[in-house]
Structure 1
């Protein structure tokens, strides 16, 4: 309770965990016939909030209402409202949310998965080592039911250099490269290379096309 410097007004605030029932302030008035005097308000205790797996609760107040803000730990995603308020009768305006555990992610054979959260939703970021690229989106979001919006992508080798005077054909899954040379050239090196799953990129060295010597016809 805070009284103004001139003593004409009083203001009321409640501690965290309580909400105000009644008027937040009153003025000193001359009691005359027909005037009414307001009752002093009270601070009503708010209902108990329960801790659940992966859930953090932070309560704060503006002096009139107590609020509860919820955050989920990494590996969990929230189902429900992030902030609820305690009404003047001590009840909350919504049920407290739950933090649903996210499904376990298996990292690609080459690459890493890092888990992060903004307190409401958990995200996963998939990265590849040097020489490899992702074959689809590297960012996944854990939905409110604990499932992920995408499958974990694979890390495939970066496309090898183009074959000068020849052709390089990469398989649909990005794991195999086949080489051939134009007419008048012969291939020096492997005709097929494979993207290795141990992180050492392509097998063998880059092939190249060697120009054939010109043939000279004899004169008879």
Structure 2
């Protein structure tokens, strides 16, 4: 009669793959998404004295941690739940009065290697709100390269004609506009 080690324990926030529980068999452990395995990912049913038992200890599935999100000059972030930053945690950035947020205001803790946490993107920056230009005007049968939400004085925007169209000069050249407070778009 084959000796059995019995059903092995399953870790919190993880799972096991068991083919059988008899002498010589093995079980494999893995963790749920957002958790990392601490300990060995496999245990074996082996002889221990006059009986059989699973080797080693049940591994632990631990939240994947992120370092605190980066601080930004003239701004701050807020998180809604905790000061421990783990997989799935999100923070929202905002700027101090007189500053404008440039970039994404929300980043979250994620992972690429299922062991170490990292933030989903860079922290935004806060720029001094100064004189700003309005959103660049649209042109018929063309477009501009501006992607920002705020256009400070000195920002460059490049206009180009759609395929098949040329400017009044008869070329398909690009316009680089330095001052965006234009009375009308370039043609």
Give yes or no for TM over 0.5.
no
Higher radius of gyration, 1 or 2: 1
Q: Per the shorter chain, which TM-score range?
A: 0.3 to 0.5
Q: TM-score, normalised by structure 1?
A: 0.34
